[in-house]
Structure 1
């Protein structure tokens, strides 16, 4: 599967007209094959299309992703990609706890990338620094110039760049959820990480000019948990409506779930569904099927493939055929933060969605009209799925409303207007954007977390 043609400013990387932006990502934003990468990829493309010169620094924890370096080098004014070993970084992250530092922050810290950041800050008059994910703030805090002020709440120094943080989710709350759903000793480990991250989020809130979260609900939660001195707002994810185009209805007994299958909330979701919900559905509809689509299935997920009627695909080059061949998308998340791309994409493809309340938080739709919400109770969730499987006309009506919702409210261009407003605070006289050219084709994977 290839990306549709996507345009970006200029005929080469150095033709941006509006100034320089340093963008720091905890994962390489190309290809957009995972929830956080989809968001950072669309941020990047929007900035380029708007005429900014983007200097991109990112970590790479999937060796295959490095093959896309040339694409980013052609699009951006400068690029620094650093390969990291996930196992080694996890060890380093754990050791950081003994120094009172969050594992997540230590995991994404890299001296080579820090050196590059310092060089960019010295050589350029940056308009803004955009950090994607809380741990990337460390590169700001460790830069001599950017960290010189007592507080970044005001920009008294004319040359101080605008500091923007895209948290996406309230990450400390996710670890708090992990702690609540785990047993000793991991409950203590997760609880400590939640506390350390909360403290770090507070530091960011005090030092950055503006912080973004993936929904208004998540932004409200952040304000409740952290004493905020700067500005906080929600900036929703969008959907590529051409790539995830509406599909013809299909009337069968197949359900699917799509996500990164080494991610704890997804593992918990499909395990609970197969063990507690699916047997109730099969009792009523013996030929019902459940397909788990996603890369890196853990051993727990792979074992679910031994259950009759359950298929575990592993990584696939294109998730859309699995949606095309299923009547229903189920999203039984019991642990969830932010806004779920998997829900928006399923609705965009014209598939009815049955989800827990946690899975649809932040989506501006109406339950029973745009999607079906069932609490994380085996009987309730099974009943909701059975109702739609037995009444395909009703499922198709919900699917049609769901598609209309994403068309009306979740186009990326509309969602990213908030980013334009923030950047224009110091660039009201920006010149007209240059002509456009297209992004090369690449694969769309299935790692949406």
Structure 2
């Protein structure tokens, strides 16, 4: 089986949820045949490790221009789709498909315009989020011009998502996303391919009362989550546990996140290796107020043996892990209470974190996650 995968970025290093999902899917397809990966490449990306695994990587440097944005609006009609439209990547995809393919998999609904017309083989759209729902949530909490802009983007993305009816198979990350998509488009083959994590490797128990939010801290929902937690929840934690420390760990922290730094709050910026930061962590966080999909960072934290305290939205798509490594609390007082309890009981925190690591290994491996998709792709006559 030969597959062509169109992705947002070369997924190495796998330092974001988007890249980790792309890497998991590409590796799964590679185990079943040849894979050509067409993606943007930034100066921080490295295709060499993927090529060493036998993956044919064809990358295009990410360059944005007014002309590209206008072209993208014409092709994709959505601002977030237009930002990633590039004629060079389109030509790269066409060339790869023209060489022959059994499967063309497009990651993200915004990348659907890259799927060549007159395609050969099975066409799969992998939806990491229901993007119109995410944009709608952002619009609901915004004001003024931002509210209007995000509402318009939600409408445009909904139109784009309705085009998934042209795909042979659509994969989503959770039952909730499948149900949400069903309200947009009637598609006979929508499969749940959850986010996953191979080979959990629990770290030794943390020695100090440290709480961490590990995320891309330039992304709007993560910025909102960090600010809400630092202002509404963290003062309650510090009042109960005066020696507690909060680590906000992640790339490109927005000014609003940088402003949260203080005596008990550290904003790290980009770090070369997350392991030392997880080693210090007794409790990990997923305090999202908006968002979509399922939370790769929850799997990452649990894989290191760290329990996660999350909002209900933060744990969306991973509800099976609630009570198995994940604790849900939505209100500031309730969230602070759960965190204080775990900080004050290191043995319980360790036990809950190890339960999460076991759950990830048993139920959230990539081998298990991709099984329904591979069954569709490998069974003649099913698509």
Q: Aligned pair in 2 of structure 1 residues 184, 410: CA closer, same or farther (>3 Å)?
A: same
Matching residue of 1:53: 34
Contact map agreement 1:58 1:81 (CA 8 A) in 2: yes
What is the distance in 2 between the residues matched to 1:336 and 1:223? Answer: 18
Q: Aligned pair in 2 of structure 1 residues 399, 99: CA closer, same or farther (>3 Å)?
A: closer
Matching residue of 2:349: 395
User: The residue matched to 1:402 in structure 2 has which SS?
Assistant: helix
Matching residue of 1:229: 187
State which of 353, 357, 365 in structure 1 corresponds to 2:312: 357
User: The residue matched to 2:368 in structure 1 has which SS?
Assistant: helix
What is the distance in 2 between the residues matched to 1:362 and 1:77? Answer: 29
Is 1:384 the counterpart of 2:357 in the alignment? Answer: no
Matching residue of 2:163: 203
What is the distance in 2 between the residues matched to 1:183 and 1:98? Answer: 27
Matching residue of 1:311: 266
Q: Aligned pair in 2 of structure 1 residues 250, 77: CA closer, same or farther (>3 Å)?
A: closer
Matching residue of 1:274: 230
Matching residue of 2:298: 343
Deviations 1:161-206 (A, max 9, x none): 10111011101111111101111110111111110010011012x2
What is the distance in 1 between the residues matched to 2:277 and 2:161? Answer: 38
Matching residue of 1:437: none
User: The residue matched to 1:385 in structure 2 has which SS?
Assistant: helix
What is the distance in 2 between the residues matched to 1:77 and 1:284? Answer: 51
What is the distance in 2 between the residues matched to 1:261 and 1:194? Answer: 22
Which of structures 1 and 2 has the bigger CA Rg? 1
Higher relative contact order (CA 8 A, sep 6+): 1
Q: Aligned pair in 2 of structure 1 residues 240, 56: CA closer, same or farther (>3 Å)?
A: same
State which of 98, 106, 123 in structure 1 corresponds to 2:82: 106
What is the distance in 1 between the residues matched to 2:367 and 2:256? Answer: 39
Residue pairs, 1:315-334, within 5 angstroms: 315-334=270-289
Contact map agreement 1:255 1:327 (CA 8 A) in 2: yes
Q: So what's the TM-score if we normalise by structure 1?
A: 0.80
Matching residue of 1:431: none
Contact map agreement 1:93 1:104 (CA 8 A) in 2: no
Note the C-alpha offset of 1:321: 1.1
Q: Tell me how many residue pairs correspond in the alignment.
A: 382
User: The residue matched to 1:82 in structure 2 has which SS?
Assistant: strand
Residue pairs, 1:121-160, within 5 angstroms: 121-124=97-100, 126-140=101-115, 143-146=116-119, 160=120
Contact map agreement 1:208 1:230 (CA 8 A) in 2: no
Contact map agreement 2:198 2:361 (CA 8 A) in 1: no
User: The residue matched to 1:357 in structure 2 has which SS?
Assistant: coil
What is the distance in 2 between the residues matched to 1:293 and 1:194? Answer: 29
Is 1:80 the counterpart of 2:58 in the alignment? Answer: yes
What is the distance in 2 between the residues matched to 1:282 and 1:139? Answer: 50
Note the C-alpha offset of 1:96: 5.6
Note the C-alpha offset of 1:361: 1.5
Contact map agreement 2:230 2:260 (CA 8 A) in 1: yes
Note the C-alpha offset of 1:77: 6.4
Q: Aligned pair in 2 of structure 1 residues 309, 164: CA closer, same or farther (>3 Å)?
A: same
Note the C-alpha offset of 1:99: 8.8
Contact map agreement 2:207 2:280 (CA 8 A) in 1: no
Deviations 1:223-250 (A, max 9, x none): 12x1223311110111132xx4112222
What is the distance in 1 between the residues matched to 2:322 and 2:30? Answer: 37
Q: So what's the TM-score if we normalise by structure 2?
A: 0.93
- Unmatched 5+ stretches in structure 2: none
Deviations 1:8-57 (A, max 9, x none): xxxxxxxxxxx32111112222221110110111111121122x111221
What is the distance in 1 between the residues matched to 2:322 and 2:29? Answer: 34
What is the distance in 1 between the residues matched to 2:2 and 2:75? Answer: 35
- Unmatched 5+ stretches in structure 1: 1-18, 147-159, 429-449
Q: Aligned pair in 2 of structure 1 residues 127, 326: CA closer, same or farther (>3 Å)?
A: same
Matching residue of 1:435: none
